[in-house]
Amino acid sequence: MADPSATSDQGPTPAPTRQAALVAWAQQMIQRTGSSERDFALRVGEQYRATVPPDQQSLPWPDPDQAESADEYSRLVDSARKRVERYLRGDNALPVELEEAWVSALGGEWSTGCRRELARRMGLLGARLPEEGAEATVTDAGALLRTAGAAVEALAPIVADGVVDEHDRPHVGRALSQIANAQAELTTWIQRLSAVLDDEETVHLYAVEGGRDAG
């Protein structure tokens, strides 16, 4: 059972390759949420079958739901688990075809964090498009507060002495990562709030509020 209180705010150390990033996020999700490789493997399979059209699926991923007996079900589950284990150990390269399912199977903040790292590897921000509904709005508000808090926490050891210099190098990587996460959440909120205005109103508010802040 995954621990709902566990969060991905700190995330794994930025990985040297895209494959390593995908593996690192899965490993940390499993370690910090109390999930298991078995559960993750089942979710990967579900996402793969849901997102890749049947005629485009080149990976014969085990589907326990098609089992006709308890023994066959156990065998298919174990086969899926072993596949994920091989990817996590680095024995096999993670196929591009499986990447979207892998990231989605991480779930919640872990999926978001992994997508952001993958986006940043390509020079992109990794902001989410805002979703409709009261629950999504509350969730996005919580994500903004959480990432802003994580950014402030990451900055704390840097600004503690009032000087930013080479002595802060050990903390800079994490600070940049957390600030980028907060920036992405802010961008999501800019999109959400701007959606209730027309273009002219948005430009006017930016100008007025920006002038007040400067004053």
Task: State pLDDT tens for residues 149-193.
Answer: 999 999 999 999 999 999 999 999 889 888 988 888 888 888 888
Could you identify the residue written with the tokens 């940390």? 28
Of the residues 94, 120, 146, the one at which a domain ends: 120
- Pick out the chain residues at pLDDT < 70: 1-11, 13-14, 199-215
| Residue 158, domain extent | 134-214
Question: Do 153 and 76 belong to one domain?
Answer: no
Number of domain units in the chain: 2
Question: Do 106 and 185 belong to one domain?
Answer: no
Q: For position 4, what pLDDT does the model report?
A: 34
67: in domain: yes
Q: For position 180, what pLDDT does the model report?
A: 86
32: in domain: yes
198: in domain: yes
Helices (H), 90-168: 96-106, 108-120, 134-159
Of the residues 69, 93, 120, the one at which a domain ends: 120
Question: Do 146 and 116 belong to one domain?
Answer: no
Query: What is the spatial distance between Cα 11 and Cα 83, in angstroms, rounded to a whole number?
Result: 24
Question: Do 84 and 148 belong to one domain?
Answer: no
For residues 150-186, b (16+ Cβ closer than 10 Å) or e, as one string?
bbeebbeebeeeeeeeeebeebeebbebbbbbbbbbe
Question: Do 111 and 149 belong to one domain?
Answer: no
Burial of residue 132 (CB within 10 Å: 0-12, 13-18, 19+) is: exposed
Q: For position 213, what pLDDT does the model report?
A: 56
9: in domain: no
Q: For position 5, what pLDDT does the model report?
A: 36
Q: Are 47 and 83 within 8 A, CB to CB?
A: no
Question: Do 31 and 92 belong to one domain?
Answer: yes
Question: Do 52 and 95 belong to one domain?
Answer: yes
Q: For position 187, what pLDDT does the model report?
A: 85
Question: Do 70 and 142 belong to one domain?
Answer: no
Of the residues 120, 151, 178, the one at which a domain ends: 120
Question: Do 34 and 103 belong to one domain?
Answer: yes
